[in-house]
């Protein structure tokens, strides 16, 4: 019988995860079913308990707005999920034994190092944004480098996040300097076609400018970075696929190959 997996979110219609996991299943020859399910925003735990009572679910991905609820639902958290303060992957090991993990940060690390070919060891990083995605990234990045500066529109949030991980923070107005190897846009500005007010010299001096958002065309942030002379630019499609591969590994004990999936999805979006 196929093992059953879900991705929970609200909204969830746009999710590429079922397509990605179907490709992983084909590539690894495993018999899995992976469905998307839109849950009501209230009472994540109650809805999940009801579902678990009805169906034998092996694991789940969890996306906006349920990543904190999922962390609470888990009975054990991996170290990186604890550091991130959020969970995007659940493994249902037994009744009352639910492992929570966060694969977003490691997905970013793998995409940057293996696909973009940029070494993160001791890299100087400027991180734009202080929301859930920024925290998830830091939770994995600090295993590679502590030279991370956090900046955010609401400066106090950048300061609090930097403080939690013993990192530096600064305001956007202090970013006009060629001081960083990698500039990461972990804000949601690109969703609205906006660019965070990062200094031009930060982008022109970067070996890599990376936007967590992805789409058919480069985001306005990536267009600006390219125009200003960033050596490389990349969007978050690779991160999305690599975080999915890490979840797949946790659930099935096999890490699927991701390059063909990346090429296929790049064509599809």
191 or 269: CB nearest ligand NDP? 191
The answer to whether 182 and 118 have CB atoms below 8 angstroms apart is: yes
State the residue for tokens 């090991």: 93
Q: Which of 26, 36, 41, 67 is catalytic?
A: 67
What is the rounded end-to-end Cα distance, in angstroms, of the chain?
32
Q: From CA 80, how far away is CA 88, in angstroms rounded?
A: 11
- The verdict on 233 binding ligand NDP (CB under 6 A) reads no
Binding residue for ligand NDP, selected from 152, 175, 219, 258, defined by CB under 6 A = 152
23 or 133: CB nearest ligand NDP? 133
Tell me, yes or no, if 67 is annotated catalytic: yes
Q: From CA 181, how far away is CA 144, in angstroms rounded?
A: 14
Residue nearest to ligand NDP (CB): 131
CB of 122 to ligand NDP, least distance (A): 24
- The verdict on 132 binding ligand NDP (CB under 6 A) reads yes
- Residue 168 — φ and ψ, nearest 5°? -90, 155
State the residue for tokens 């076609």: 193
- The verdict on 130 binding ligand NDP (CB under 6 A) reads yes
Under 8 Å CB-to-CB from 53, ≥6 apart: which residues? none
Catalytic residues: 67
Residues within the interface to ligand NDP (CB under 6 A): 104, 129-134, 152-154, 157, 186-189, 191, 194, 196, 212-214, 236, 239-240, 243
């Amino acid at each position: 019988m196929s093992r059953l997996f879900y991705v929970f979110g609200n909204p969830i219609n746009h999710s590429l995860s079922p397509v990605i996991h179907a490709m992983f299943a084909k590539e690894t020859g495993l018999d899995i079913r992976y469905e998307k399910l839109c849950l009501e925003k209230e009472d994540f735990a109650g809805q999940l308990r009801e579902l678990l009572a009805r169906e034998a679910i092996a694991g789940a991905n969890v996306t906006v707005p349920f990543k904190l609820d999922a962390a609470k639902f888990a009975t054990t958290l991996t170290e990186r999920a604890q550091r991130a303060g959020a969970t995007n992957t659940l493994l249902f090991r037994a009744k009352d034994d639910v492992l929570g993990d966060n694969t977003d940060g490691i997905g970013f690390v793998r995409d940057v190092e293996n696909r973009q070919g940029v070494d993160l060891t001791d890299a100087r990083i400027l991180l734009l944004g202080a929301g859930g995605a920024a925290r998830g990234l830091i939770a994995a990045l600090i295993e590679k480098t502590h030279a991370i500066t956090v900046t955010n529109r609401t400066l106090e949030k950048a300061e609090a996040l930097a403080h939690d991980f013993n990192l530096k923070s600064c305001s956007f107005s202090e970013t006009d300097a060629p001081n960083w190897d990698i500039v990461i846009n972990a804000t949601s500005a690109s969703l609205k076609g906006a660019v965070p007010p990062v200094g031009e010299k930060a982008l022109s001096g970067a070996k890599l400018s990376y936007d967590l958002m992805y789409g058919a065309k480069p985001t306005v942030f990536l267009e600006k970075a390219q125009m200003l002379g960033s050596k490389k630019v990349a969007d978050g499609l690779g991160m999305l696929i690599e975080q999915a591969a890490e979840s797949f590994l946790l659930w099935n004990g096999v890490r699927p190959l991701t390059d063909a999936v990346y090429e296929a999805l790049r064509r599809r979006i």
